[in-house]
Amino acid sequence: MSGATRTDGDRRCRAAVLGSPIGHSLSPVLHRAAYGELGLHDWSYDRFEIDEAALPGFIGKLGPEWAGLSLTMPLKRAVIPLLDEITATAASVEAVNTVVCTEDGRRVGDNTDIPGIVAALRERGIEQVESAAILGAGATASSALAALARVCTGEVVAYVRSEARAAEMRQWGERLDIEVRTAHWSEAEQALRAPLVIATTPAGATDTLAPSVPERPATLFDVLYDPWPTDLAARWSAYGGAVVSGLDLLVHQAVLQVEQMTGLAPAPVDVMRLAGEKSLAARQDGR
């Protein structure tokens, strides 16, 4: 997909993150850090509290100064009918977290969460695993499953709380052409022995699993980043296991967004990560 490359004659370029709630979003910190490093001093990146009902009106009013949007819950599926096109990656999980406004006025949806997960794993030297486990079955779990379809050569076991969620995960497996077996959440301790564990659950959901971390854990990818570390991630690190955080995911998916919206690559991943770390540290100090 082509990025929204702008000419020197453009007065300014706009981008923003939309969602509800949105006040906690680190996206403005990451994108603004990238703009500063790339010399895009006339670019702006804002946040807007937008729910599903307000989304069509917001999209409809986007002017030529807009380069793109980042989307968080609950908008990742609601935005699809409002777009001119979505990429195959976004279509694979029916979720869009990135909208690029092209030079010819089209609005193209993409999903950078999936390649963001893959990039975060590769940054830690994980190119391929023989099997994996997913904790949870929400929207993030489907993106995690799509990422595993690229790096996992064997079975993925999803630990869920209901049969309805289990059926959804099996259906996603069939759609993504990856072998998925489901197990009840009560058996989630078994997940911790997998070569790669991806925790996609809300804050606090995996706390009771922390005492069950094995003595030699492999790799944990915990999609949370605030508060950090989670009890599970802290125990995992204490036992010498590799931990990939939600901030790693947030940074890598934002890197791809910056590249698509600005047309400039590579985006400054280290600068963006440092900005995110400083912002999170400031939040924690303020508590």
Enzyme catalytic residues: 76
Give the pair of three-digit tokens for residue 210: 């922390």
Q: Tell me how far apart the alpha carbons of residues 273 and 280 are, in angstroms, rounded to a whole number.
A: 11
- Between the two ends of the chain, the Cα-to-Cα distance in Å is 42
User: Residues 15, 45: contact at Cβ < 8 Å?
Assistant: yes
Nearest to 59 by CA among 74, 49, 69: 69
SS (H, E, C) 164-212: HHHHHHHHHHHHHCCCEEEEEHHHHHHHHHCCEEEECCCCCCCHHHHHH
Give the pair of three-digit tokens for residue 236: 């995992």
Strands 107-110 and 98-101: antiparallel
Residue 74: is the preceding peptide bond cis (ω within 30°)?
A: yes
| Dihedral (CA of 67, 71, 99, 101) sign | negative
Q: Tell me how far apart the alpha carbons of residues 90 and 96 are, in angstroms, rounded to a whole number.
A: 5
